[in-house]
Each structure stands twice: as C-alpha cells, then as structure tokens.
A and B are shown apart, each in its own frame.
Chain A
Amino acid sequence: MNTLMLARWQFGITTVYHFFFVPLTIGLSALIAIMQTRWLRTRDERLLRLVKFFGKLFLINFALGVATGIVQEFQFGMDWSAYSRFVGDIFGAPLAIEGLLAFFLESTFLGLWIFGWGRLPERVHLACIWLVSIGTMLSAYFILAANAWMQHPVGYRIDHTTNRAVLTDFFAVLTNSTAVIAFFHTLTAAALYGGVLLVGVSAWHLARDRFTDVLRPALRLGLWASLAATAGLLVTGDIDGKIMTSQQPMKMAAAEALYTTSKPASFSLFTIGSLDGGKEVFSVRVPGVLSFLATGSFSGKVDGINDVQALEASQYGPGSYKPVIPVTYWSFRLMIGTGLLAGLIALVGLWWTRRGRLPERRWFWRVCTWSIALPILASSFGWIFTEMGRQPWAVYGVLTTREGVSLVSPGEVLTSLIVLTALYGVLAVVEVGLMLKYAKAGPPEIEPPAQAGDAEPRLSFAY
C-alpha cells in the first residue's frame, strides 16, 4: 500500500462521512427556522414542541458535523501538501473566508440559540436560528466554490517559475458556473435531507397513533419540502449535467460507461456484465436519454470514453485519463435512483395525507421511516461520482491526484486512516443510538413559564 492510495481512501472516507451530517445541518436549520417563525406568528404550541423536538435532533447531528469538519481543513495540508502548495493561492481563500464568514456565524449564533431560550427576546432568539441557517448556506457556497475550481479551474494562470497556480480573478472563482449550480444542487439536496427526516420521524409515531396532532403538520411540511427538493434536484442536476459534459466530457462518458461516441446515446437503467467496453450480458436501455442529459437534445452527440481518452492523451501527454468506470457508472444511477425514490415517496405521501387524511397503511409509514436513508445514499453516491469521475485529476486538466499527495510515509497515513475510520465508526453508532432515542421519545411537553415568584429562572437549555 502506498501513500497515495491510503490518502485517497482517507479522503474518501472522511469526506463522505462528514457529508452525512452537513446537508442535514443545512436543511434542518432552515426548516426549524421556518417552524419557529410560524410559532411566533401563530403561538400554536404544537409548533414550539416541534421546534424543540427537531432542534434536539438537529444538535445531535450538528455536533458530528462540526467535529468531523476540522479534519477536512487539516487533511489538505497533512495528506495533500503538494496539492496545497500548488493551489494554495486560489484554494485557500474560499476556505479562510468560509471560516470567517460562515463558521463564526453558525457556531456563535447556535450557542445563542441553544442557551438563549427564555433569556433573549423572542425575536432576537428567532433571528439566531435564521443566522445559523444563513451561516450553513454561506459555508456551503464557499466550500463548493473551492471544489468547483477543482472540477473546472477558472480565474488563474500557471506560474512556470514556481510551478504553482496563481489567482488572477477571484470573482471568476466565486461565480464559476460549476460552483453556482453545485450550490443550488447541494441546497436542494439539503432540503431533501431535512424534509425526509421530518417525514420519517413523524411517520414512525403516526404509525403508532402517537403525537398525531403535533406531528401531522411536521409530516406535511416534510413532504412538501421533499417534493420541492426533488423537483429542484432534477432541475439543478440536469443543468449541472450539461455544464459537466461541456467541462469534463470524460465524466459524462464514464457515467454511462459509453466507450464509443454516439448520436443519439441511450441511457441504461442497469447493466449486467463488465463495464470495460466489452460485450454486455444484459442491459435495460432508454433511447436518447443520455443525449438529453448531456446536451438537452434527445438526438445530441455524446463523446465516448475512447475518444475523450485519445483527445486528452494528445493534450496532456500519454497516460490513462479514465476514471474507475464501474464506480462512476453505478454511483451515477444510484444517485439519481435513490433521489427519485425519495421524491416519489413524498408525492404518494402528499396524496394520501391530503385534506386531513391519514392512511391506515402501516407499511407506508415504515417505508417513510426507512426513506431517511435515501438522501444520505443519494448525496454520498453523488459525491463519489463527481470526485471519482474527475480522476486521475485533482484539478481537472491541471494537476493529477498523484502529483498532489504529501511526501509522508505510508505508515503515518495508515495510522491516521485506521484511527479516524475506527473513531468515525464508533461515533456513528453513538450518534444513531442517540438519534433513535430522541426521535422515539417524541416531541417534549412544554414546561409552563416560570412563576413570578422565582427569583432566578433556571437554565432552560443546559448541557
């Protein structure tokens, strides 16, 4: 095992794991802010109970997002120091700005929100959760701008004396088409995370006839959020696919394992057999769909892996420019499939719960609860696709992953890989245990306001 392989595994594991928590932080903070706003408007106590209930789940999730986020910033320097030297002039700025603009905002106002119940004026307290929500979105924007620069580098030149990339236009980096579309794609994914969590947790209780009056509104809000999110994901994903095809043709070809350039190109729902360009055993194909995904026309031309390989070899020198095709092929359709399934469940759920109805179908509630896993799967597959699909490049067309790795010993990276993976595994078990405990406990009762005789109101939200 060499340093490169180990560093890649560590990056993959820590990043996918970190991203289990991030979209829920983004999605749920916004949904909680919406519920708390509605509570202040209507004074409907059920909404307050929902805010407290989902607030608790939010915080259990948030803790791991924060804790694993530090690793993300550190490991660029630890494992990818050659990369960091090469891109630091461009890549460091969004990271630093993310800290200054977003992390301070999130962490400070979350502290105020948790501990500020009954201490801050209600409107100020509400503003805190909105600021947390804005902070999470800002954070997403800057980190996606950094990632987008790896997908589609803009606003830079290469300084050949130092052999480093140098920033020439920061505005171009921030308004990179890849960054903008990835931002909206991520936000809609986050909305799906939040929506599905509301649905799944509410469904668990509704199946048992518990807290029906409190959780029905949460279920409906979650279903609407999920449906809107899925629609948003389809639109943003579609735009993203076309941008990706023009910027990284290899990635779209690899998404379909399309070896020869085709016009029109079909989309296979699944394939049995190897994906190495040899004869497939069996596949289910929808004609013209890949053409549509890539170009917007059902008869458009899609470049195949072999042609892109030949083109890139002539541009960048001899070598293989193909990612691991089975990974890109399957992650691409699993991303779409799991995401669509979540949307379908939301659609059915909305229909069956229309105008005050509650279905008697226990199995449907069970499906809803299990659907909490769908957006987690979808976004994991999405990131695996977009990062693995860019290989062998770290920065597309500019720097390969191999060139970016640190000159540290395999033993060091292996230690770190084992330690972090084991720690993350244990924390996942603890986290899921707590989420289940608090989700199953249901919305808490609201304590009556402090009596006038109490000199000192107790801390309502204390660790």
Chain B
Amino acid sequence: MSLNDLYLSLKDLWFVLIAVLWCGYFLLEGFDFGVGILLPVLGRGDTERRVLINTVGPVWDGNEVWLLVAGGATFAAFPMWYATLFSGFYLPLLLILVALIIRAVAFEYRGKRPQAAWRRGWDWCITAGSAVPALLWGVAFGNIVRGVPIDAHEHYTGGFFALLNPYALLGGLTTLTVFTLHGAVFLALKTTGDIRERARRTAARLGPVAIVVAGSFLLWTEIHHGKAAAAGLAVVAALGLVGTLVATLRGREGLAFAGTGAAIVATTVALFTTLYPNVMPSTTSAAYSLTVHNASSSHYTLQIMSVVAVIFTPLVLLYQGWTYWVFRKRIGVSDIPVETPGTVGTAA
C-alpha cells in the first residue's frame, strides 16, 4: 500500500471512528436522556423520582464523555468539519450547551436540599436538559445529512431558521421519541415494583410512535439519497424497534433494551453511511462540500490519533463496561435511604 493510500484509509478510519463515537454517545446518553424526559411522567413523588435518577446516577457522566470525545476527535481529525459545523450551528449548539449544563448540575444538586420547591426546580432542569438535546441532536444530524448552504470559504450561510426544515425536524422528533423509548425500556430493566410496571406500559405506548416517526425519517432519508447499505441499516433499525415493542409486550426487558440499542446504532450508522464521503455537504454547490478528504488533518496527525485510539479505546470500554456490571442490580423505592434532617443529601 502506498503512503497516499494509507492516508486515504486513515481518513476513512477516522470517519468510521467518529461514527462509532456518536453511536456510543447516542446509545448510552440516549437512555439517560430518556430517563430525564420521563422523570415527571414516571416518578410519582420524590422517592420515586430519586429511584429514576439513581438508575443513571453512577453512569450518566461517563456517558456524556462520549460527546466530548466525539467533539475532540472531530476537531483533531477533521478540523474544517469541526469549524464549519460548530460556528454554523451556533444557536442550536448554545441551546444544547445550556441544556447539558443545567442537567449536569441538577443531577448533583437536587438531593442537596430537602425543600420540595428546590427539588421540583431541579427536576424540571433534568427534564428540559434531557429533552432539548435529545431533540436538537436529531435536528443537527438531519441538517448535516440533508446538506446546508456552505460557501466557497467553508462558511455556513444559512442562518438559524434554515435549520428548522421539515426533514431535520423529523430527525429531531426521531431522536426525541427513540431516546424516550430507550429510557423507558431501560427503566423497565433497571427498576422494581410500580415504576417498572409503569415504565413497561409507557414503553408499550411509545413503541408504535417511535416506529412510525423513525420509520418515516429513515424512509425519507432513503428516498432522498437512496444508498443500498443505508437501506439495509434502516431495516435493521425498524426491526429493532418492532422487536422492542414485541419484547416489551412479552415482558422480556433485556431484549427490549437490546432492540432500542440496535435501532439507535443502526440509525446512526445509516446516517453516516448516507453522508459518506461528505462530512458536511453544501447545498450551495457540491464543489463547496466538506468531505472526508478536504476536511481532514494531516497524515501524521491521523497516525498519532490512531495509535492513541487503538491503545486506549479498548481500555475505556473495559472499565466503562465494568461500571455497568457493578451497578447491574435493579433498584426500587426500598433502596432509597430514608431522609432524616441529619442525613439530607447523603447523596454525597
């Protein structure tokens, strides 16, 4: 293989790795977004809401790091993509930032004071802070795949409202409903008693909605771009969601969670497959599109990054996987410590 071929395959490798990072992010943070969104629906009373929050308590922060690494990897491997995307999607990203900030703080702070108003306020922050990014990530990816106006200098020229087109909004609705469903089946898998029942019923009700919404989004993507590989993945995603619904109705919670997981990964991969070899297609002129080739870092930088990724990614997967093993038990109302004035916020 010549040096140039190696460079080309490294660019492709990093496109794949960034897709993997987004898959990991959506697969993991997807369910903790879902839990946050369902907090007011499934949590009746403070103790129940604490159960819900504690199902993701030990892991949500680690899940969010997938986003930080996806962002960092995009910066390092495709700086032009990072620059155009982040400056172009300015206001939606600001909204996502605000949402993620209030959500992170809310998880940590809600249990720190006993007052009902304090906790309700933070609960609202968790719900809004989960729903807004769950919606906007879909809108963002819808726009990336669909293409946005980009000029010859790699600048996004569309403004805020151009991002709110029907296709991208359907993409947003897809991530919102699928993540909510993912959260519902996660809760059914991780809780006991009434909450588990309610989560199961909610999942059963959300299942058909997610199938219709995600199905239409993937169909629309297919009609527009028509890539055979993406079509196959869309079928996998649809089957995953149908499987989730069937498994939920039969009380097979592990299987149901695997179904939404598969659907999320398949949808993400389908979008990246549709996108390739572009990373940000321009609707102004195809010549201005950012591609895997014209947006990437140098061969040397990609080599360094590849070595680091090859060594450390397995390690991260290993210890993050171990965390899920340590906290594999279901939890219920009886697991939450009783609060007396002296022990308020044992939540360290």
Give the B-binding residues of A (Cβ under 8 A).
52, 55-56, 59-60, 62-64, 66-71, 73-74, 76-79, 81-82, 84-85, 87-93, 95-101, 103-105, 107-112, 114-116, 119-120, 164, 166-168, 170, 406-408, 412, 415-416, 419-420, 423, 427, 430, 434, 437-438, 444-445, 447, 456, 458-463
Question: B80, A59: Cβ atoms under 8 Å?
Answer: no
Question: A52, B348: Cβ atoms under 8 Å?
Answer: yes
**B301 interfacial by beta-carbon distance below 8 Å:** yes
- In the complex, chain B residues 318-343 whose Cβ is within 8 Å of any chain A Cβ: 319-320, 323, 326-327, 331, 334-337, 342-343
Question: B109, A60: Cβ atoms under 8 Å?
Answer: yes
Q: Report how far A96 CA is from B301 CA in the complex, Å.
A: 12
Q: Report how far A66 CA is from B62 CA in the complex, Å.
A: 11
Contact of A67 with B304 at beta-carbon distance under 8 Å, contacts A56-B345, A107-B62, A462-B57 already known: no
Question: A460, B308: Cβ atoms under 8 Å?
Answer: no
Not counting A77-B87, A84-B75, A444-B343, a sample of 19 additional A-B residue pairs whose C-beta atoms are within 8 angstroms of each other reads A63-B105, A63-B107, A70-B67, A70-B97, A73-B68, A78-B86, A78-B93, A92-B72, A108-B316, A166-B298, A167-B304, A170-B300, A406-B87, A407-B87, A427-B105, A430-B109, A437-B112, A461-B348, A463-B108
B325: min CB distance to chain A, Å: 11
- B347 neighbours in A (Cβ, 8 Å): 461-463
Cross-chain pairs A/B with CB under 8 angstroms, 24 sampled = A60-B108, A60-B109, A63-B109, A66-B61, A70-B97, A71-B101, A73-B71, A73-B75, A77-B85, A77-B87, A85-B83, A88-B297, A92-B77, A93-B76, A95-B75, A100-B72, A108-B65, A111-B58, A111-B62, A120-B326, A423-B98, A427-B101, A427-B105, A463-B108
- B323 neighbours in A (Cβ, 8 Å): 108, 111-112
Residue in B71, B102, B309, B313 whose beta carbon sits within 8 Å of that of A74 in the complex: B71
Give the A-binding residues of B (Cβ under 8 A).
50, 53-54, 57-59, 61-62, 64-65, 67-69, 71-77, 79-80, 82-87, 90-91, 93-94, 97-98, 100-102, 104-105, 107-113, 153-155, 297-298, 300-301, 304-305, 308-309, 312-313, 316, 319-320, 323, 326-327, 331, 334-337, 342-343, 345-348
**Most chain A beta-carbon neighbours within 10 Å: one of B98, B107, B345:** B345
- A423 neighbours in B (Cβ, 8 Å): 98, 101-102
Which 4 A-B residue pairings sit nearest by Cβ, starting from the closest? A88-B79, A77-B86, A92-B76, A96-B72
- A62 neighbours in B (Cβ, 8 Å): 108
Question: B308, A77: Cβ atoms under 8 Å?
Answer: no
Residue in B91, B102, B345 whose beta carbon sits within 8 Å of that of A412 in the complex: B91
Chain B residue nearest to A459 (CB atoms) is: B335
- A462 neighbours in B (Cβ, 8 Å): 50, 54, 57, 111, 335-337, 346-347
Q: Report how far A444 CA is from B344 CA in the complex, Å.
A: 11
- B112 neighbours in A (Cβ, 8 Å): 60, 434, 437-438
Question: B97, A74: Cβ atoms under 8 Å?
Answer: yes
- B320 neighbours in A (Cβ, 8 Å): 104, 108
Question: A463, B50: Cβ atoms under 8 Å?
Answer: yes
Q: Report how far A423 CA is from B305 CA in the complex, Å.
A: 35
Q: Report how far A166 CA is from B300 CA in the complex, Å.
A: 9
A431: min CB distance to chain B, Å: 8
B281: min CB distance to chain A, Å: 18
B291: min CB distance to chain A, Å: 15
Residue in A82, A447, A461 whose beta carbon sits within 8 Å of that of B83 in the complex: A82
Q: Report how far A456 CA is from B62 CA in the complex, Å.
A: 27
- A166 neighbours in B (Cβ, 8 Å): 298, 300
Question: B75, A103: Cβ atoms under 8 Å?
Answer: no
Question: B75, A419: Cβ atoms under 8 Å?
Answer: no
Question: A59, B65: Cβ atoms under 8 Å?
Answer: no
Question: B94, A88: Cβ atoms under 8 Å?
Answer: no
Q: Report how far A459 CA is from B50 CA in the complex, Å.
A: 11
**Most chain A beta-carbon neighbours within 10 Å: one of B74, B109, B154, B336:** B109
Q: Report how far A98 CA is from B308 CA in the complex, Å.
A: 11
Residue in B58, B67, B312 whose beta carbon sits within 8 Å of that of A115 in the complex: B58
Question: A415, B91: Cβ atoms under 8 Å?
Answer: yes
Q: Interface majority SS on B: helix, strand, loop or mixed?
A: helix
- B75 neighbours in A (Cβ, 8 Å): 73, 76-77, 84, 88, 91-92, 95-96
Q: Report how far A209 CA is from B218 CA in the complex, Å.
A: 67
Question: B76, A77: Cβ atoms under 8 Å?
Answer: no
Q: Report how far A305 CA is from B327 CA in the complex, Å.
A: 60
Q: Report how far A84 CA is from B304 CA in the complex, Å.
A: 19
Q: Report how far A323 CA is from B54 CA in the complex, Å.
A: 50
Question: A437, B113: Cβ atoms under 8 Å?
Answer: yes
Contact of A110 with B61 at beta-carbon distance under 8 Å, contacts A90-B301, A456-B335 already known: yes
- A74 neighbours in B (Cβ, 8 Å): 71, 86, 93, 97
- A68 neighbours in B (Cβ, 8 Å): 101
Q: Report how far A124 CA is from B86 CA in the complex, Å.
A: 40
Question: A108, B62: Cβ atoms under 8 Å?
Answer: yes
B68: min CB distance to chain A, Å: 5
- B76 neighbours in A (Cβ, 8 Å): 88, 92-93, 95-96
A329: min CB distance to chain B, Å: 34
Chain A residue nearest to B151 (CB atoms) is: A407
Residue in A95, A100, A416, A444 whose beta carbon sits within 8 Å of that of B309 in the complex: A100
- B109 neighbours in A (Cβ, 8 Å): 60, 63, 430, 434
Chain B residue nearest to A131 (CB atoms) is: B319
- A164 neighbours in B (Cβ, 8 Å): 79
- A84 neighbours in B (Cβ, 8 Å): 75, 79, 82-83, 86
Contact of A456 with B77 at beta-carbon distance under 8 Å, contacts A73-B71, A107-B64 already known: no
Contact of A460 with B297 at beta-carbon distance under 8 Å, contacts A77-B83, A99-B65, A108-B62 already known: no
Question: A77, B298: Cβ atoms under 8 Å?
Answer: no
Question: B57, A77: Cβ atoms under 8 Å?
Answer: no
- B59 neighbours in A (Cβ, 8 Å): 111
- B348 neighbours in A (Cβ, 8 Å): 52, 55-56, 59, 114, 461
Q: Report how far A444 CA is from B153 CA in the complex, Å.
A: 59
Q: Report how far A434 CA is from B108 CA in the complex, Å.
A: 11
- B105 neighbours in A (Cβ, 8 Å): 63-64, 67, 427, 430
Q: Report how far A103 CA is from B71 CA in the complex, Å.
A: 13
Question: B87, A93: Cβ atoms under 8 Å?
Answer: no
**Most chain A beta-carbon neighbours within 10 Å: one of B76, B77, B107, B301:** B76
Residue in B64, B110, B304 whose beta carbon sits within 8 Å of that of A463 in the complex: B110
- A81 neighbours in B (Cβ, 8 Å): 83-84, 86-87
Question: A104, B69: Cβ atoms under 8 Å?
Answer: yes
- B74 neighbours in A (Cβ, 8 Å): 92
Q: Report how far A434 CA is from B68 CA in the complex, Å.
A: 27
**Most chain B beta-carbon neighbours within 10 Å: one of A93, A112, A445:** A93
Chain A residue nearest to B121 (CB atoms) is: A430
- A73 neighbours in B (Cβ, 8 Å): 68, 71-72, 75
Chain A residue nearest to B304 (CB atoms) is: A170
Chain A residue nearest to B80 (CB atoms) is: A85
Contact of A460 with B337 at beta-carbon distance under 8 Å, contacts A74-B71, A93-B304, A415-B94 already known: yes
- A71 neighbours in B (Cβ, 8 Å): 97, 101
Residue in A93, A107, A170, A427 whose beta carbon sits within 8 Å of that of B65 in the complex: A107
Question: A95, B87: Cβ atoms under 8 Å?
Answer: no
Chain B residue nearest to A103 (CB atoms) is: B65
